[in-house]
Amino acid sequence: MPALAPDPILRPAPRIASRPGPGLDLPSVAFFGRSLAEYAKFFALDLAALKGRDVLDVAAGPSSFAAEACARKIDAVAVDPLYGDGVAVLAARVQADYARMGEQMRAKRRLFRLKSFPSLDAAELDRRTAAQRFLADYEARLFHGRYVCGALPRLPFFDGTFDLVLCAHLLFLYAAQFDYDWHAAACRELVRVTAGEVRIHPLCGPDGKPYPALARLRRELREAGIASEVRAVDYAFFAGADSMLLLRRAAS
């Protein structure tokens, strides 16, 4: 497993008060996760090509990506601010957040697309199965370095540690909670810890509309020596969630 950087300082993200609206109500970051199969779709992953590679899942929550990827001989690590809590605490958080999210999915059905699942019930079952797989693996692997406590915009890893860095359903879904400067710093940090590429999904807010400051963000990242690309993916569950942002250090 990759070495951790010494004594990281984990700074809480600046928050902006959220307001109820037509989109999902996300007053705080939900402890919600997905399976490797779903990751492979919305990140357009070639799983066979990742065998033996170092991959980081940022803000992973109860996703089963790390557990399933390691079973496929991918050297995956997951990082989340809640890792370090006991499995019973995380299991209770899963129950509460999944119930809340399931209620919203059904109340705001128009926001969802059933391209990747036959029904909302099937999607919920898949995510709950992923969470159970995560909880079993977390209990066994927390002290083996697979699950690391950490939060953007300061991750506890050395520069260039990972071949690929993934960040799902944080940037830019929580743009109402985290301000622009935090988003820009988070993107720079994701690039710092990779020797290869960063993939971020989705590029929309909780109302399904594109992140309004994306052009500005890409321009400022380019000025900081970070190249970016918006790439369509063959996936659609949430309105507007059909693309990802790729980041990498620009060629000198």
pLDDT tens, 33-75? 999 999 999 999 999 999 999 999 999 999 999 999 999 999 9
Residue 133 domain-assigned (yes or no): yes
Q: Write down the pLDDT at residue 22.
A: 67
Q: How many domains does the chain have?
A: 1
Name the stretches of the chain with pLDDT < 50.
6-20
What is the Cα–Cα distance from 223 to 92, expressed in whole angstroms? Answer: 44
* Residue 181 belongs to domain spanning: 36-249
Domain annotation covers residue 4: no
Q: What is the pLDDT of residue 1?
A: 57
Does residue 105 form part of some domain?
A: yes
Q: Report the predicted TM-score, pTM, of the whole model to 2 decimal places.
A: 0.90
Classify residue 168: in a domain, yes or no.
yes
Q: How far apart are CA 30 and CA 95, in angstroms?
A: 11
pLDDT value at residue 15:
35
Q: Report which DSSP code applies to 99.
A: H
- On whether residue 206 sits in a domain, the answer given is yes
- Quick one: how many helices (H) and strands (E) in the chain? 6, 7
What's 198's domain CATH number?
A: 3.40.50.150
In whole angstroms, how far apart are CA 72 and each of 56, 69, 150, 167, 199? 15, 5, 25, 20, 20
Share the mean pLDDT of the chain. Answer: 90
Identify the residue whose tokens are 């919203």.
104
Amino acid at 242: D
| Residue 2 placed within a domain | no
